[in-house]
Amino acid sequence: MRQKNLQVMTSMVDLVFILLIFFLVSLTLQQPRIWELSLIGGAGEVPDEPTLLIELTALGPKSLGRLVDVQEIIADANRRNAKVVVQAQAGSSWQQGADLLAQLSKSGVAHALVP
């Protein structure tokens, strides 16, 4: 009886290893998505194209002192053919910035990040 239990355990361990090897071989790895950000920095640097400055605050994106929706930013940038410049303010989170930049990238609006 003891030998039969040992055989069953051995075959289960073999089965686990076979499944592990199968899943590792069939696993497809994806390349990490990298956002290309052009950084604007330095005092006195004047951009060549029209820009739309967005301040990223803890409450959300602001333009000209008022809270704005991302779709409004995209529509305004497309209408003016402007590059969106995002400036993070104290209290804003990394996730807010990542979400905003992802939506800008998805919509095809040129954007930059001010450190």
- Model pTM greater than 0.85? no
Domain ranges of the chain: 38-114
- Cα–Cα distance between 36 and 54 in angstroms, integer? 18
Amino acid 43: pLDDT: 47
Q: 20 Cβ partners below 8 Å, 6+ apart? A: none
Q: For the segment 90-101, what is each residue's pLDDT rounded down to a tens digit?
A: 888 888 888 888
Task: Name the average pLDDT for the chain.
Answer: 79
Amino acid 19: pLDDT: 92
Amino acid 16: pLDDT: 92
Q: For the segment 9-42, what is each residue's pLDDT rounded down to a tens digit?
A: 788 889 999 999 998 888 877 665 555 555 555 5
- DSSP secondary structure string, 42-96? STT---SS-EEEEEEETTEEEETTEE--HHHHHHHHHHHT-EEEEEEPTT--HHH
